[in-house]
Amino acid sequence: MKILITYSLIFVMLFCKAQQILPLNTSASLASEYSYFKDLNNELNQYTGLWKATIQDKTIILNISVQIKEPIVRFNKNFFRDQLFIRYEIKENGIIVESTLNKNFTNDIALSIKSAYSENNGSMVKLLFSGGNCSVGIGLITLKKINTTTLSWDYHPGTTTRNDITCPPNLDYNIYLPETENLIFTKQ
């Protein structure tokens, strides 16, 4: 019996590692695989809810939620992270031109917006937009918390054109998200 307990302890020590829980802004490059980047300081909850902005003839609605312990891959290692996830709707002259409010992102990540990291104790968060068809519009979105009811939006697409070789010409390649700085959203 003593030998069985000894072997069991050795097995547990060698093969079972406790999951490392780290703050959101910890670099994944130095973290051990399967670490969990957790929102320990409640930085993400201040962004949740419905937000609305108007620019020119467009009305943009953001539905921001927190996803808990989402699997991610960085530096060829598997991790878990708490993150913001944005679904949105854009109306132009009152007509919906793009909406992900009811989109199922399980098998298709096009048009998804997920947080990458936060800065300044959560007063600013950087998000990655996957882009639309052929990743057109892929880019970085920055949200800055102004106060409890307003936030600022900056969006800079990295790719604004399609590849004529691998992207069929019959798809919609418009970027509907507002490509601007300091667009003010108000909590609804």
pLDDT in tens, 48-67: 999 999 999 999 999 999 99
Looking at residue 85, what is its pLDDT? 96
Considering just the CA atoms, what is the radius of gyration of the chain in Å? 20
Is 161:26 a contact under the CB 8 Å cutoff? no
Measured between alpha carbons, how far is 182 from 177 in angstroms, rounded to an integer? Answer: 14
Share of the chain above pLDDT 90, in %: 67
Residue 36: give the domain boundaries: 2-187
Mean pLDDT over 23-34 rounds to 89
Q: How many domains does the chain have?
A: 1
Distance CA 146, CA 138 (A): 25
Q: For residue 164, what pLDDT is reported? A: 73
% pLDDT > 70, the chain: 90
The pLDDT, as a whole number, for residue 14 is: 42
Helices vs. strands in the chain: H and E counts, helices first: 1, 11
Distance CA 97, CA 94 (A): 9
What pTM was estimated for this model as a whole? 0.85
pLDDT at 18 (0 to 100) = 67
67-94 pLDDT, tens digit per residue, is 999 999 988 999 999 999 999 999 999 9
